[in-house]
Every structure is written in structure tokens, then in C-alpha cells.
A and B are shown apart, each in its own frame.
Chain A
Amino acid sequence: MLARYQNIFKKVMEYIVIFLMISLSVLVVVAVIYRKSGMSLSWYDEVASVMLAWLTYYASALAALTRGHIGFNGLLNAMKPSLRIPTLLIGEALVIGFFILLAWVGVEVLVILGGDNLTSLTWVPTRLTQSVIPIGAVLFIVGQLLSFPDMWRQAMSEQGIAGHEDVEIPDEVPQNAREGESP
């Protein structure tokens, strides 16, 4: 059941991230073409910056699921499992607490912003662009909670928790390379 929810969350977040990455690339290339044609897009800087912020928070939520955020697990892994578990729980509670606060103040800000709009695209409300903060915070919490059982299992094991740098051979490597064939 948990694996199913993890998979659904992962797929949805992956498609959002792919969409944002491709959209950003297309936007920048189109903006270069327009600028070189002497018809600069007045809204390009503002929209691209907003898209970068969106990519930041949606991709961060995906990274929370894969526990990809940069951290230091050396001390935690040096502890015995009996001490490691409570320490892990404190760390997890602090992370979730921070994002609960961020979601709450994010909603507060949406109320404060009222009817403000973007400077270059006056028909786009800043409430829409800023909504990424509360939504991103909630998604981060979901990603963190969905990946917590795996963290718990790792913390209980002798090897401890895998860090963000503990990588495996990436999937894009050709199979023949893995088998040691000549380049």
C-alpha cells in the first residue's frame, strides 16, 4: 500500500518537474531568439524567475521522497541503533515542523497579497505565483512522510542511513560499459 502511494507521488512529481524543466528551456531559447530579432519579451525575466522558484519547490518535494537533500549522516551512522532512532526522530520532527510553519506563513502571505498582480503580466495574480510556497511545503511534508518508513528501516540496520552521495551506477550508462567492454 505504501509503495503504491510512493509510486503515485513520485510519478506525479516527476511529470511536474519534467514539464517545468522543458518549459524553462523553451522559454529561454525563445527569449534569445526574440531578443536577437530586436523584439525582447518584456515578461521573460519575471516569468522565468517564477518558473525557477516553482521548479525549486516541486523538485525539492521530489528530492524529499528520494532523500536527495544535502546533509551529513556521519554522526548519525556512528551511533548505535538505540541512540540513532531517537536522534532520527528529532531530526524528522524538526524538518516537518519547519515546513508546517512555511505552509502556514505561505497561506498568510497569500491573504496579504490580496489582488496584487505581476509587474510585466498584469493579468497574472501574485497569489498564483506565490502559491508554490504553501503547496511546495505541503508536498515536501508528504514526500518526507512517504519516505520515512524506508529511513526507519535503514536506521534500524547496522549499516545506517544512506547519504545523498551514496550513488549507484546511473541508468543512462550503456550496458556494455558496465560489463567492461571497450569504449
Chain B
Amino acid sequence: MIIFLMFVGLFLLIMLNVPIAIALGITAVITMLIIQGTAALPNIALVMFDGATKFPLLAIPLFIFAGAIMNTGGISKRLIAFASALVGFVKGGLAMASTATSMFFAEMSGSAVADVAALGSILIPAMKRKGYPGPFAAAVMSSAATIAVIIPPSIPMILYAVMSGSSVVKIFVAGIIPGIMCGLAMMGLSYGFAVRRNYPVEEVFQLKKVWSTFKEASWAFIVPIIILGGIFGGFVTATEGAGLAVLASLFVGGVIYREINWEHLKEATIEGGISTGVVMLLVAASALMGTILTELQIPQQLAQQITDLTTNKYAVLAMLNLFFLVVGCFLHSAAAIILVVPIVMPLVHAVGIDPVHFGLIVTLNLGIGQQTPPVASVLITACSVAKADIWEVSKVNVWYVGCIFIVLMMCTYIPAIPMFLVNLFYG
């Protein structure tokens, strides 16, 4: 009964527009008072402090900070020029180049909202000027931005790893192939739209131009090679890799390209700090809720009830996929991970699902959630940039979301797709 009331209370608080982090805190405190009495009150302060000191989460502000430096350091426009020279010669070339740029950018940015804000603000107006309809341009950028959370580094993956006690690095590696698959599928879809609707060719293919734009962008490519190579090679941890990303992006933007705008960088640093505070307050409050969940053994009870119904891991994965797709429509990805992952992990372990495989599935599900209203942070950002109606954009975007969904289904039921590189590197 108390469990039911706790979740109803949490739901009501969220419906009252109480921020989710604080709704979690209030629910946990009231439950704590009912179960343990007022003697447990000082624990609230201790748990809220300890919850915010999870060392692996240090990577989050650092990757956000690195992304902010790259956004202001001239890297975006060089990536766009290279992608345009590479695929701009086919019909719908600029749309395809937009997706390709997002794939490159994803290797440096862990946030889809940052991706769509940085690239969409340049590419959406450019597409509109070339005659692409605004809703189509917004849909291309919105869906492509989701690749940022699938291809490492990825902030949702870091959060998942911490909440589930899994390896950040292995989950990063698991995201590489699905991220590339999503990107290629989206580019293929853009080509299909372009042929059918007669969208223009961006530019003539010139090997010389591909080479010159590659040389210009080469420093931008070196940054992810250093960061991801260092992390995957075991030379640095994910947190240290994030620190190096800050250093490398400052070097490339400030010393090589000499384009860092310090005023914009200051603004971006503040934005990055706020994003960190928002996510980390959720983490801290979830630690408070975690003590209650542990006390009441809710995750274990859930695992027991579902395994009484079925122990088939693919049936359980189907249930979890459906659950995360629904949750993703209503919750920000960070909130969804923090709220749901600790509850379902005992079930995941009980039916023998690899936590790394599951981490990738969660990321793909929540990537779709970023594109599905009412809470669709990435889609709304793209619509805001394109000044397009969310419904009109969604009519096109549904096809691109379909690409991510197909990759999700493939990754769910063919674990070798995400796990191939993980097994190759880490046995």
C-alpha cells in the first residue's frame, strides 16, 4: 500500500509542475518519515550530499564544457564544409550532409540538444534557402541530433552506467555501430525524400575540395580520436577523457583555429553549469529515493513479479522497450534514467540481460523519446530554430524516428550488433 501511495504521490507532484528532482525528494522524505520517523531526518542532508559526489559523473560537466568550447571554436562550420563536399553532390545532398555532420559532431558532444542548437542554427536556415521545406529541414536536424546520445561520448550513457553500476567505457563502445546505422539509415531516407520531391544537389563533387575541407577539419577529427582512443585504449578513464576533451577543444579552438569567442564561451559555460546542476540535483534526489527503494525492496519485488510471469529475456526486453518508449514521451532522458533504471536493474539481472546491452537499448529508447511530444526537448529546439509547427515537423520526423526504431529493434533482438565491438575489445 505504501509503495502505491508513494508512486501516486510522486505522479501528483510532477503533475503539479513541481520539478522532478524535488518531487522525488519530497516523496522520499514523506515516505522516510512514515517508515523511520523523525530520527532519520539528518540522513536527508547526508544522502543529498553523497548523492551528488558520484565520481564518474564528473564526466558530465566536463563533456558539456568541452562541447561548449567546440561550439564557439569554429569546429562546427568546418565539419559542415567537409560533410557537404563529401555527400553534397547527390540529390538532397545538404540534408545528407546535415546528418553526416551530426555524426561527426556526436563524437565530441554528448548532448542532442546541444547538437541541434549548434548545428541546426546553421544548417536549417541553409536548407530552407536551398528550397527544402522548413518542417523537413527541422525533422532532418532533430532526428540527426539524437545520434549525439548514441555515438560516444553520451551523457545519458554516463548516467545509465552510474545508476546501473555498469562500465561507462563498454556502453560507449556498444553505441558506435548502432549510431552509425542510425546515421546511414537517415541519410538513405533523406535521399529517398529528395528523389521523390526533387530536392536539389548541393554542389559538384570535387576530390580537391573534399581534400581541402578535410585538411581544414582534420584538427576537429583529431579531438575525438584523442578522447575516444584514450578512453577505449584504457589510457585514461571516461572522466579523465572528458578533462582532456576540454583541453583539446581549447587547443584546437583557441590555438589552431583562433576562433574562440570568449563572451560566447562564458555564456556557454554558464549554460553547461546549469545543465549539470539540473541533472545532478536529480541524481542527488534519486539517491534519497534509492534509500527508500532499498528499504522497501521495491526493485526486487518488481523483478520477482515479472519473472513469475516470464523469464524469457526477449519478452522482458519487449516489455521494457514499450515501457521506456512511453516514459520517454513524458520524461526528459536524464529523469527517465534516474527514475527507472535503479528499479528495473534487478529484473534485468534476473533474466540474464547484459547490462551493457540494456544500456544501449535504454539510450535508443530515450533517443526516440527526445523526438516524441509532449516532452520532446530536441524536436522542440529544432522547431524553434526552424520556426516550424511541431505537428508539421512531426509528420516528416516520424519517418526518421522510424529509422531509430528499426535500429532499436535490431539491437534488442540481435545483441551481436551493439555487442560486437564490446566483445572484440573487452572479450
A residues near B (Cβ < 8 Å) are 14, 17-18, 20-22, 24-25, 28-29, 31-32, 35, 45, 48-50, 52-53, 55-63, 66, 68-76, 87-88, 90-91, 94-95, 98-99, 101-102, 105-106, 108-109, 112, 129-130, 132-134, 161, 164-174, 177-183
Q: Which of B22, B80, B242, B246 has the most CB of A within 10 A?
A: B22
B94 to chain A, nearest CB (A): 9
B residues near A (Cβ < 8 Å) are 13-22, 25-26, 29, 41-42, 44-46, 48-49, 52-55, 57-58, 61-62, 65, 68, 71-72, 77, 80-81, 84, 113, 117-118, 121-123, 125-126, 128-129, 236, 239-240, 242-244, 246-247, 261, 264, 266-274, 276-278, 280-284, 330-332, 334-335, 374-377, 380-381, 384-385
What chain A residues lie within 8 Å of B18 (beta carbons)? 71, 91, 94-95
Verify B61–A24 contact, CB threshold 8 A: yes
Task: Take A21-B65, A25-B62, A31-B240 as given contacts and tell me if A56 and B122 are in contact as well, using a CB distance cutoff of 8 Å.
Answer: no
Task: Provide the bound-state CA to CA distance between A69 and B15, in Å.
Answer: 14
The contact sample of 22 A-B pairs, CB cut-off 8 A, is A17-B269, A29-B247, A32-B244, A48-B55, A56-B280, A57-B281, A62-B270, A71-B14, A71-B18, A75-B15, A91-B16, A94-B18, A98-B26, A130-B49, A133-B45, A165-B375, A165-B377, A166-B380, A170-B268, A173-B118, A179-B125, A183-B81
Verify B277–A57 contact, CB threshold 8 A: yes
What chain B residues lie within 8 Å of A35 (beta carbons)? 240
What chain A residues lie within 8 Å of B380 (beta carbons)? 165-167
Task: Take A29-B247, A109-B45, A168-B384 as given contacts and tell me if A70 and B242 are in contact as well, using a CB distance cutoff of 8 Å.
Answer: no
Verify A18–B266 contact, CB threshold 8 A: yes
15 additional contacts, CB 8 Å, given A55-B277, A70-B335, A168-B384?
A: A14-B270, A17-B277, A18-B270, A21-B61, A49-B58, A58-B277, A72-B375, A95-B18, A98-B29, A105-B45, A109-B46, A161-B17, A173-B118, A178-B121, A183-B80
Verify A94–B58 contact, CB threshold 8 A: no
Q: Which residue of A48, A87, A183 is within 8 Å of B122 (Cβ)?
A: A183
Task: Provide the bound-state CA to CA distance between A170 and B121, in Å.
Answer: 8
